[in-house]
Structure 1
Amino acid sequence: MNPDVASELKELSSTLENIESVMDLDALRSKITELETEAAKPDLWDNVEYAQRVSSQLVHSQADLRRITEMRQRVEDLEVLYELSEAEADSAGLAEADEERARLRKDLEALEVRTLLSGEYDSREAVVTIRAEAGGVDAADFAEMLMRMYLRWAERHEYPVEVYDTSYAEEAGLKSVTFQVNAQYAYGTLSVEQGTHRLVRISPFDNQGRRQTSFAGVEVLPVVEETDHVEIPEKDIRVDVFRSSGPGGQSVNTTDSAVRITHQPTGIVVSCQNEKSQLQNKAAAMRVLQSKLLTRQKEQERAELDALKGSGSSWGNQMRSYVLHPYQMVKDLRTDHEVGNPEAVLDGEIDGFLESGIRWRRQQEAA
């Protein structure tokens, strides 16, 4: 076998061994067995929320195990394919093996990123809020573009999404939107998207066709769980109900089903209007409020720790530029990762940015 190919195959196998070690396959198999036992209980669905969580964890754990075992099989099959192709002087087989080696390297790099998600809440589902910032109607339109980008990304990975609240701007686009991505490690993966996104383009809303710069902010929170114990006394919140607005079905604008919750000690305001009933909207809004308070608590603890260390931990606010004119480029300002096809990025092809962001964050934490 070609020495360079043999060396790379050995390196790929070593990388996979490290991934298998970090993900602890024996522990993963034990977890799957426990979840399967729990899922088989006849009274499981008496508690729908718990049942859904068990089912989701089981599906994702099985997928993780299957992904790793399939990757190991691919490494072994690739070695055999090279040996047979070289023994038979099969040029077509060698070309096929080279293509598979490139695909395998890329897939292993993506899987390796998962092992870097070891933060306290990284394995959680994610609550994402996008807000239009400076730039008027262009900013509102940009906020809607970002929402579509994340929804397309989730769709590509077959991750379910629940939209909790949508506030439409007057002329076009969105003032804000909040949605939940229901997938394991969604928070750890998407948390690197937090910050200010910047769009430069010829404004479709400017009659003179001038170039416009607009901004939208992205906030990413972990979904709270029962073990988090986020206490919110009734006296600390004010609940207002109102009629839903914007496009919708027959129930929109007919009943006061939308809910706005104000957490008076902090001034945090959360609203939800996309569920069918007032009770469902209140429950969804409370979950988002708990996520915000949990994150606020952890940020305060981290700030106190940074103060003791005598150093800050801010990554900076503006994190990515999307340039559509006078040239085409999307660039992450922290990692320098860039793509010359904004259309593909805005259509959900953001895995490269997510992976480079996760690696960059780990480097910052290590430093």
Structure 2
Amino acid sequence: MAVDFDNEIKHLRTTMSSVREVTDLESLQAQIADLEAKASAPDLWDDVERAQQVTSALSRAKAEHDRVTGMDARIDDLEALVELGREENDAESLDEAERDLAKLKKDVDLLEVRTLLNGEYDEREAVVTIRAGAGGVDAADFAEMLMRMYLRWAERHGYPTQVLDTSYAEEAGLKSATFEVKVPYAFGTLAVEAGTHRLVRISPFDNQGRRQTSFAAVEVIPLIESTDSIEIPESELKIDVFRSSGPGGQSVNTTDSAVRMTHIPTGLVVSMQNEKSQIQNRAAALRVLQSRLLLLKKAEEDAARKEMAGDVKASWGDQMRSYVLHPYQMVKDLRTGHEVGSTAAVLDGDIDDFIEAGIRWKRAQEKATD
């Protein structure tokens, strides 16, 4: 069937009109001009932390502006290519236009999804924690598979990540792991991944080759910023130090550099061992603890904790996504109904379609309750 380029391009322009309205390019341009003036100040780097905040904000604002205006330019180029193909009766140009159209539709869809991220903390960087749930060694192995999936997803997009803590299981896999995704809107994007994930497969750890079901929990919280007022008195903290260890208990540090920080009033516990010194691990633990307390504070205000971080049990009855490797191949999100048969691709980080469907589903749920 011949592609209806005219209708497809019209639809792209309509979508981009909505994107531009939400993005508010005029305000964004004013913000860029203000940040450029601050960045050019001769005394900018007298305060290194402030300088980094200004340059990072400028980089983000320019990237957001270029993302929108660049998409408009690509639509113009597509329209010109279609016109050329028609005028010259050039099938090769029209084939190229069809390929460009498919890519553009996907990219515009992703840009449109970004406009749906308007929650209070959506534009923050994210802290992701994965914990093995029911299922023994298979669950620990599954937790490690999920961690790799998210790190590969971030790598595909060029998003910086930093692993803060890894607690290895006895036989294989992870008891838990915590890492940051250090890019704007990481929290809004990944928040829909929070919940219980379920794996069905022939267990590589069962010598009888039986099918095993296992679970892992994913928690996503927004990273706090210096402007957030989450002060924790020293009297509310219990801090234990211990030696970091790698797989199988092998020592990776000969000093007590790992830190376990407990917030006494709430019982929240954060462990960090991946930094080189106790001071660095302590700072990282405090940052994550503050982020969790920020989310808890928000939850107490509007009863939204289950939506944002999830009350995750990692067991039967509350899973949000299933990864089936046997007796057939399928990954299915039980909230949105989105499913694919390419399990290997998903576990290698190809999860954009699941994230997009999740964000649209979440926004629809919010509208239904407004």
Give the TM-score normalised by structure 2: 0.92
1:98 maps to 2:98:
yes
Structure 1: how far apart are the matches of 2:127 and 2:60?
A: 18
Answer yes or no: is the 8 Å Cα contact 1:168–1:174 preserved in 2. yes
Aligned twin of 2:238: 238
Shift of 1:251: 9.0
Shift of 1:122: 0.3
AA matched with 1:355: E
Mapping for residues 119-268 of structure 1, pairs under 5 Å? 119-246=119-246, 252-268=252-268
Aligned twin of 1:360: 361
Answer yes or no: is the 8 Å Cα contact 2:270–2:285 preserved in 1. yes
1:64-118 CA-partner distances (Å, limit 9, x unpaired): 2222111111111122222222112112112222221222111111110000000
Shift of 1:207: 0.5
Of all paired residues, the percent bearing the same amino acid is 66
> What root-mean-square deviation, in Å, do the aligned CA atoms of Structure 1 and Structure 2 show?
2.4
Shift of 1:59: 2.3
Structure 2: how far apart are the matches of 1:71 and 1:254?
A: 53
Shift of 1:272: 0.8
Structure 1: how far apart are the matches of 2:3 and 2:211?
A: 54
Structure 1: how far apart are the matches of 2:167 and 2:227?
A: 31
Answer yes or no: is the 8 Å Cα contact 2:270–2:288 preserved in 1. yes
Stretch of structure 1 that moved more, 28-37 or 202-211: 28-37
Instruction: Report the CA distance shift for 1:162/1:301 in structure 2 as closer, same or farther (over 3 A).
Output: same
1:98-142 CA-partner distances (Å, limit 9, x unpaired): 221222111111110000000000000000000000000000000
1:131-189 CA-partner distances (Å, limit 9, x unpaired): 00000000000000000000001111111111111101011000000111000000000
SS in 1 for 2:260: strand
Aligned twin of 2:332: 331
AA matched with 1:129: T
Structure 1: how far apart are the matches of 2:265 and 2:31?
A: 40
Aligned twin of 1:79: 79
Aligned twin of 1:35: 35
Aligned twin of 1:5: 5
Shift of 1:8: 2.1
SS in 2 for 1:228: coil
Answer yes or no: is the 8 Å Cα contact 1:251–1:276 preserved in 2. no
Answer yes or no: is the 8 Å Cα contact 2:121–2:222 preserved in 1. yes
Aligned twin of 1:309: none
1:221-244 CA-partner distances (Å, limit 9, x unpaired): 001112220121111111111111
Instruction: Report the CA distance shift for 1:186/1:327 in structure 2 as closer, same or farther (over 3 A).
Output: same
Answer yes or no: is the 8 Å Cα contact 2:336–2:361 preserved in 1. yes
| Alignment size in residue pairs | 359
Q: Which runs of 5+ in 2 are unaligned?
A: none
SS in 2 for 1:183: coil
AA matched with 1:169: A
Q: Which runs of 5+ in 1 are unaligned?
A: 307-312
Answer yes or no: is the 8 Å Cα contact 1:202–1:211 preserved in 2. yes
Instruction: Report the CA distance shift for 1:334/1:279 in structure 2 as closer, same or farther (over 3 A).
Output: same
Aligned twin of 1:118: 118
Stretch of structure 1 that moved more, 184-193 or 21-30: 21-30
SS in 2 for 1:93: helix
Aligned twin of 1:310: none
Answer yes or no: is the 8 Å Cα contact 2:299–2:305 preserved in 1. no
